[in-house]
Every structure is written in structure tokens, then in C-alpha cells.
Structure 1
Amino acid sequence: MSVITEVRIPPDDFELGQILNIEEASAIELETLVPTRDTTVPLFWVYEPVGDGFLDTVERYPTVNSVTEVDVFEDRTLFRLDWDASQDHHFQCVLDHEGQILSATGTPEGWDFEMRFTGREALSQYQDCCEDAHISLDIIRIYNPADPEADSWYGLSEPQREALALAVRMGYYDIPRGCTTAELADELGISDQAVTERLRRAIGAFGRHALLTPEPEA
């Protein structure tokens, strides 16, 4: 039966983290990963206005074929990165052991990945692969998405659960809305943007845990 793990990795320990330097942004959030033969094309959000220096830094990497803007908003920009992922040891460890990257968010403190593996053995092999590649993994949690007794929070981290529960109590999902993200931010002591990101990840985690049936082991 599949398992889901949440890990934190220092940006310097894998190539994508080095490419997507976040000194000019408060956070980078992976939107999708599209494998195409030997390359992998991720779409990712960069929060805060993005200067030319960010694009110049990304394009200088020899494994990057191109980086292009897809959508531009006041507080975030969606980019498409065409690059050769074969040199990224972390990404190869995930692929080699049949893992799936469900979400990834980069901050100055590190990159948080949520990943699904076909079972505990595959997860253990992934961890060994990362150790051999000198990739530091901080395991935040491991849980079984199909067993509600194993995790009563339906895949939510404690900050995600706190934000989602507060949003429900304050009527954020009511019609009409009973509060704004700014009001939620005041209650939680974080930024408006951070509330939006946390609620989005919380709903995604909840949906995957409660609604999606994992594929059986072969």
C-alpha cells in the first residue's frame, strides 16, 4: 500500500534548488511537473515581483534550455522551465524508486516536498539513494493515505490544519464569505499571502488523503 512522506531539503543539495534561487522571492511553489523524454518541464510560481536578475541567474545554468513567463500577477509570476533533469540527483532518486512529487515549495529555509511512494520499501530505497547522493533529508512525517486511523488529520500538517479549521470557523468558505484572508492572517500572525498558500496546500493534501484511492502495489 502506498505511503506519503513530507521532507525538507536544503536548496544547495539538489540542482533544481540551486537553479531556482529564491533570494529575490519570498517563496517558490511548484505547480506541475511534465516529463518529456530526457527533460522535465516544471511550472512554478514565484511570489513577490520578479526582477531580471532572477531570469538571468536561471538561464545561466548549463542544464537549463529556457525559462519563460506564463502568467504575471501583481504578487506572483508563473514560469515554465525547460531543463535537463538527468543531472538532478534528487529528482532521479524519486523517479528510480517510482515516487511521485505531489507538491513542492521553496523558501529561504529549504524546500518542502510531499511525495507518494508505492510502499515502505520504495520509500526506504529512495532515502538510501538520497544518502548515497549526499542529499540531506529532514523527514517531517510519513503516513498511510488510505488508513484514517494512521493519521486523523487527513494528511494535513499542524499549520495547515490550524489555518483550514480557522477558515471554516470564521466563514471563509461560506457564501457570502464571512471573512477575508487578511483577517485570517491577523488571527494566525502570518502574511495574507502565506494564508493563501497554506489554505491551498491544505485543501490539496486533504483532497488527496480523503478522496484519492492509492494504486495497489504490484
Structure 2
Amino acid sequence: MSVIVELQVPSADFELGRILAVNGLSTVELESLVPTGESTVPLFWIHDATRDSFVDTVKHHPAANDAVAVDVFADRTLFTLDWDANHDHVFAGISRHDGYLLSATGTADTWDFELRFPSNEELSAFTAHCEAAQTSIEVSRVYNPTDPDIGPWYGLTDPQREAIQMAVERGYYDIPRGCTTQELADELGISDQAVTERLRRAIVTLVSHTLALAEST
């Protein structure tokens, strides 16, 4: 039976964390890993960072060829990265042990990962792989999403749960809509774009922890 693990890795301990180095309060949010031939291209959001200086930093890293902006907003930018994930101990371990990346968010110091593995044995093999590569990991939670003892949130973070619960209660998903994302944003104290992204992430997380998990098992 599959398990989900939440863990932290120091940014300096794995290649992608070193490539996507950010400063201050900037954050990196991995959107997906897209296979292209023999390599894997990450799609990721950079929040609250200077685009030009970030791209220059990435281009100067010997393991990365380029970072290209795909979508640009006032407070965030979606990039693709020309980089081979097989050279990264963390991502190579995820692939080798049939793991699935649910989410990954990085800061200047630490990355938070949420991963799903087909069994506890594969998870243990992944952690042993990281230790052998001298990559520090700190596991904060391991659970089976079908176990009723884990609670009802199915992997949702507190902000995601708050946003999607409020959206349902205010009638955002009703026809006609009972509220707008701007009204939700005003109540939550964040931007309209941030509400849209938070709701999208909440829906992806719910599907990944329920429907997608049921199909895989």
C-alpha cells in the first residue's frame, strides 16, 4: 500500500536546490517535471524575486544551461529549466524507487517535499539512497492517505484548506457564482492571483490524494 512522506532537505544539499538559489523572502515552487527525451525539464514558479538576476544566477551554474520565462505576472514568474534531473541525488532517488512528486517548495535555506511511494520499503530505500549520497533529509510526517486515522485534509496545507473551504462556503463553485476570487482574496488578505493559484493547488492535491491514489492502488 502506498505511503506519503513530508520531508525537508537543505537547499545546499542537492543539485536543484543549489541551481535555483534564491535570496531573502523569495520562494521557488515546483510545478511539474516534464520528460523530454532522455532528460527531465522542471517547470517552477519563482515568487517575489528579480527575474533578470535570478536568470543570470542560474546561467552561471555549471549544471544548468538556461532558464526561460514561460508566464510572467507581477509577483511571480513561471520558468522552465534546461537541466538533467538524473544528476540530482534526490530526484534520481525518487525516480529509482518509483516515487511521485506531489509538491516541492524551496527557500534560501530549505526545500519542503511531499512525495508518494508505492510502499514503505521503497520509501526506506529512498531515504537510504539519500543518506548514502550524503544528502540530509528530515522526515516530518509519513502516512497512508486512505487511513482514517490521518484526519480529513488529504495532504492539504492549512492555507489551501482555508481557501477551498471558504470558496465552497461563499458559493464560488455555484452556478451562478456566489463570489469572485477578488472577494476571496480580500477576505484572506492576499492577491487575486494568489487565491487562484491556491485553489488550483488545493484541487490538484485533493485529486492526487484521493482519485489518483485510488486508481494507482
Counterpart secondary structure, 2:210:
helix
Distance 1:156 1:82, change over 3 A: same
Q: How big is the shift at 1:195?
A: 4.0
Paired position in structure 1 for 2:165: 165
Other-structure match for 2:102: 102
Q: Give the match's secondary structure for 1:64.
A: coil
**Structure 1 residues 177 and 112: alpha-carbon distance in aligned structure 2, compared to 1, 3 A threshold:** farther
SS of 2:174 mapped into structure 1:
coil
Cα distance in 2, alignment partners of residues 133 and 10 from structure 1: 14
Task: Among all aligned residue pairs of Structure 1 and Structure 2, give the percentage whose two residues are the same amino acid.
Answer: 57
Mapped partners of 1:189, 1:141: distance in 2: 29
Distance 2:21 2:196 in 1: 22
CA distance in 1, matches of 2:19, 2:52: 15
> Is it true that 1:34 corresponds to 2:34 in the alignment?
yes
Q: Which residue of 2 aligns with 1:119?
A: 119
Tell me how far 1:203 sits from its aligned partner: 1.4
Whether the 8 Å CA contact 2:6–2:142 is kept in 1: the answer is yes
Task: Note the 1:71-110 alignment, pairs <5 A.
Answer: 71-108=71-108, 110=110
Which stretch of structure 1 is more off in the superposition, 114-123 or 38-47? 38-47
Partner of 2:216: 215
Shift in Å, 1:205: 1.2
Quote the Cα distance in structure 1 between the aligned partners of 2:8 and 2:196.
21
| CA deviation after TM superposition for structure 1 residue 189, in Å | 5.4
Matched, 1:63 2:63: yes
* Residue 185 (structure 1) shift: 4.7
Q: Is residue 167–residue 184 contact of structure 2 (8 Å, CA) maintained in 1?
A: yes
Cα distance in 1 for partners of 2:195, 2:42 equals 24
Letter in 2 for 1:63: A
Answer with 91-100 or 177-186: which moved more. Answer: 177-186
Q: Residue 79 and residue 157 in structure 1: after superposition, are their counterparts in 2 closer, same or farther (change >3 A)?
A: closer
* Matched residue, 2:199: 199
- Inter-partner Cα distance in structure 2 for 1:22 and 1:29: 12
Matches of 1:79 and 1:178, distance apart in 2? 34
The question of 1:44 aligning with 2:53 is answered no
TM-score by length of 1: 0.83
Q: In 2 relative to 1, CA 33–97 (structure 1 residues): closer, same or farther, beyond 3 Å?
A: same
Aligned CA-pair RMSD: 2.7
User: Structure 1 residues 14 and 202 mapped into 2: Cα distance closer, same or farther (>3 Å)?
Assistant: same
Residues 153/81 of structure 1: CA separation in 2 closer, same or farther (3 Å cut)? same
Q: 1:19 deviation in Å?
A: 0.8
CA deviation vs aligned residue, 1:77-124 (integer Å, no higher than 9, x gap): 221111122331111221221111122222345222221111011011
TM-score, normalised to structure 2's length? Answer: 0.83
Give the 4+ runs in structure 1 shifted more than 6 A. Answer: none
Asked if structure 2 preserves the Cα contact closer than 8 Å seen for 1:48 and 1:75, the reply is yes
Q: Distance in 2 between matches of 1:22 and 1:96?
A: 28
Q: Does the CA contact (< 8 Å) of 2:155 and 2:205 recur in 1?
A: yes
- Say whether residues 1:154 and 2:164 are aligned partners: no
Q: Which amino acid aligns with 1:11?
A: S
Does 2:20 correspond to 1:20? yes
Aligned length: 216
1:183–1:135 CA distance, 2 compared to 1 (3 A): farther
Q: Distance in 2 between matches of 1:180 and 1:22?
A: 33
